[in-house]
Amino acid sequence: MKTRILIIFLGMLVLASTILLRAAWLQFLPNEKLKNLKNKQFQTVITLPSRRGSVVDQDGRDLAMSVAAFSLYADPKIIQNKKQIARKLSKELNLSFDFVFSRIKDSNRRFSWIQRRINRSKMEKIESWKVRGLSFVEEWTRVYPNENLMSQVLGFLGSEGQGLEGIELFFEETLKGNQKKISVKRDARGRPLVSEGLLFTENPEGHEIQLTIDSELQYQLEAELSKAVSEFQAVGAVGVILDAKTSAIRALASAPTYDANKAHNTSAEIRRNRNVTDFFEPGSVIKPFVVAKGLKDKILQPNTKYFCENGKWKIGQRTIRESDAEHYFGSLTVSEILAYSSNIGTAKMALQMGDQRVRDGLKEFGFGEKTGVDLPGEVKGILHALPWNAHLLATNSFGQGMAATSLQVATAYAALANGGVLRAPYIVQGIRNIETAETQEIELKNGKRVLTESEAEAMRMLLTAVTQKGATGFTARVSGFQVAGKTGTAQKAHTNGRGYKPGAYISSFAGMIPAHKPEYVIYIAIDEPQKNYYASVVAAPVFSRIASFAVRKSGLAPTLLASENYMPQRLPAEKEKSQDLVSSEILSPILNMENKILPDLKDLTLRQVIRKIQGHEVRLKRVGSGKVIETWPPAGQEIQADSTLILYMKED
């Protein structure tokens, strides 16, 4: 009997020990199979984006930012009264009943998203219902505080928080940070274990991107483009403002625009950044680059004359014409060809140079190649391969038959403005690590020299003639500042690539200010204006208003003296009538200058200037009266034959 009891006791002891050892084994030693079963039963892992880095302008103003939002999810297995809950949610969230019910009706499911990124007020209301099986997780939503400002440039996000266009797409990896995974834990009955209905986790944020954009210039540019589209009943418009020295993008706009916060309700046609994705035949704004190549290769000089055939010139079976009867000319110098925008004069220059040289010149200024800007979707335009027949060579010389983006045109003009260096435009100034507060400044890339400084200066001087009275760009003038630039009125090609659309033009103006030492390069193009299509009427005045705002915002001092820029000394009435206080007339058609280097004329009277200049042919023009306070070109620069010396004068 005792033996039997002992055997039973030992057996139970062994069994108990085995159970205890097994329990200890399961409790303290890892078992992947059991761990996976536990995780599957008691928690669900969901992936959420971390807080996306902000995008700010050059002064640190927010252009795109992330704010807290709340995403609603359900555990269908434990939700009671599913139809009633679905009706309440559909009403509160403005969703269809069928959609909501489909998300919660399957009791075998343990996790289902209802709606992502709900604002706080709706979240708090749903929380107040205290429905078991509904919970929230905190994540981030993208907000564009300026709504329409820079929308095509900034881009927008997809439903999963990924960048789809613009800066948001191009710098996706930099902005998004790390993805974060959240474990939604449940108790043994499947109920979510949350703190006050919310789940919070810490995770590294994305980096902040600082742009080169000046928000005030951007706003002004967008406002002026919108005004021009409305005033001239145009299809659209584009505009670029570059820092003349570095090619940093200070403003980049397309019209019409849209609210980036409602991007998914906007057509792709409006959302795209036309400054980099769309190319078109730019027209006469291309002419300066043909002239620049001719000057560089010493084929022509500013005073070289070409017979412009009195407005019509036949090349083979085709006829080249000027824009209208007012521009039918005989012989014109190169300077006058640019000033009056003669197609025939430019075509004759191009034929003298040959197709190889003209194409090389356009390539040197970046046409037919991408600029390399840090924005997505850039196209390279069209520059046909050689050989070119005579007609194609002629039309390419005045910007028809080739195609470019607005950013390409502005970048090429920046090379004329900065002394002859072609630089890639860029829009990101720096990237800031939020965790370490360290900022990585973007290094300015070395440009490619395409002209010498003197050649670039000569081109700027030629382009100032375009904005003089009687020239095509007169309406681009800015009070107190000398403007260099060029108009363009180009026929618009059919979208199918065959011929031109009847009555459709692109009116444009490309220029720089101040002309003697440019700070800004500005390009404006108005697409299919209906009321008038001449650039002098449509695009040049837009340039003038934007350029005027830019130089005054920057605090630049006026470089031209005019009655509105200074208060002249009052003279007796009888003398005031005869005294020319502000004049731009040519006082003497020919003065002689023995030395081609301009001496210092500061503080000299007009009579003293005439005595000091001897020898070479040069035209003299004065602005104001009294003594010289500044000259253009400045002292020490070479004066070319038949050029113009401008004296800026003021009474003591």
Phi and psi based region of residue 371 (left: phi greater than 0; alpha: psi -120 to 50; beta: remaining)? alpha
Q: How far apart are CA 174 and CA 172, in angstroms?
A: 5
Give the H or E element holding residue 521: strand 520-527
Closest residue by Cα to residue 243 from 73, 366, 417, 124: 417
**Distant-in-sequence, close-in-space partners of 649: CB < 8 Å, separation ≥ 6:** 561, 606, 622, 623, 624, 625, 626, 627, 628, 629
Helices marked H in 54-155 = 82-93, 97-104, 120-128, 151-154
- Which of 215, 247, 254, 284 is catalytic? The answer is 284
Residue with tokens 């000299």: 604
CA distances to 319, 335, 472, 505 from 309, rounded to whole Å, are: 11, 17, 19, 25
Closest residue by Cα to residue 365 from 316, 308, 292: 292
E strand segments, 10-61: 43-49, 55-56
Reduced to 3 states (helix: H, G, I; strand: E, B; else coil), residue 493 is strand
Q: How far apart are CA 604 and CA 628, in angstroms?
A: 5
Q: How far apart are CA 369 and CA 346, in angstroms?
A: 23
Q: Would you call 230 a catalytic residue per the annotation?
A: no
E strand segments, 171-248: 179-185, 208-211, 236-243
CA 554 to chain centroid, in Å, comes to 19
CA distances to 109, 197, 377, 444, 598 from 73, rounded to whole Å, are: 12, 11, 37, 48, 78
Q: How far apart are CA 22 and CA 298, in angstroms?
A: 96
Q: Are 154 and 65 in contact (CB under 8 A)?
A: no
Give the H or E element holding residue 618: strand 618-623
Q: How far apart are CA 582 and CA 427, in angstroms?
A: 41
**Distant-in-sequence, close-in-space partners of 556: CB < 8 Å, separation ≥ 6:** 481, 514, 519
Q: Are 326 and 384 in contact (CB under 8 A)?
A: no
Give the H or E element holding residue 583: none
- Counting DSSP H helices and E strands in the chain, the numbers are 21, 24
Q: How far apart are CA 58 and CA 209, in angstroms?
A: 10
Closest residue by Cα to residue 477 from 485, 634, 416, 286: 485
Give the H or E element holding residue 174: helix 172-176
Q: Which residues are catalytic?
A: 284
